[in-house]
Amino acid sequence: MTQARAEILVGISGGIAAYKTADLVSRLVKKDYAVTVIMTEAAQKFIGKATFEALTNRPVYTDLFAPREHFLGEHIGLPRRADLLIIAPATADLLGKMAHGLADDLLTTTILATTCPILIAPSMNSEMWNKPAVQRNLKQVTDDGVNIIEPDEGWLSCRVTGKGRMAEPDQIEAEIIKRLAPAV
């Protein structure tokens, strides 16, 4: 295996679309990206840490107060080595925290300490997606320089069809590769 092309942080917040993130992580690892996963407590209710540890061959970070590797804390050390942070899925809750600079767990504190590009792939119920508060938060996040991979319209886990379905892993992968490609 060759040296990793880039260091990617993958943040996972608590939505049913977290299962798709396993496919995304696998795709990135197969392309020789170094991938580190940060999961919220809610994300762990949808998919286990062991899945991502097996896919990345790295520890999964979940706890703000249990540093494993960085003396100053994972929220400082992990983003310092990252070339890109992708959050998939990004829930309505996470968007609200990002829009208002709230940091109450490892993922949100890492977001605030991140200086590399940030991409998010929102995922939520279509009624939530259409709420004015969510759209205001989305606008604030984009005004702050975060790039959005728009959710798709389709069948949602709440048994309705609408906008809010997280983009497919191949779409997210293509956007990551585009963002990490050297300028020509």
Give CA separation, 38 vs 48, 83, 139, in Å.
Answer: 12, 15, 24
Residue carrying the six token digits 């993922």: 107
83 contacts 8 by C-beta, under 8 angstroms = yes
- Which DSSP state fits 7? E
**Whole-number Å distance between alpha carbons of 184 and 181:** 9
* Active site residue ranges: 158
Helix boundaries (H) for 31-183:
43-46, 49-56, 74-80, 92-100, 106-113, 126-129, 132-143, 169-180
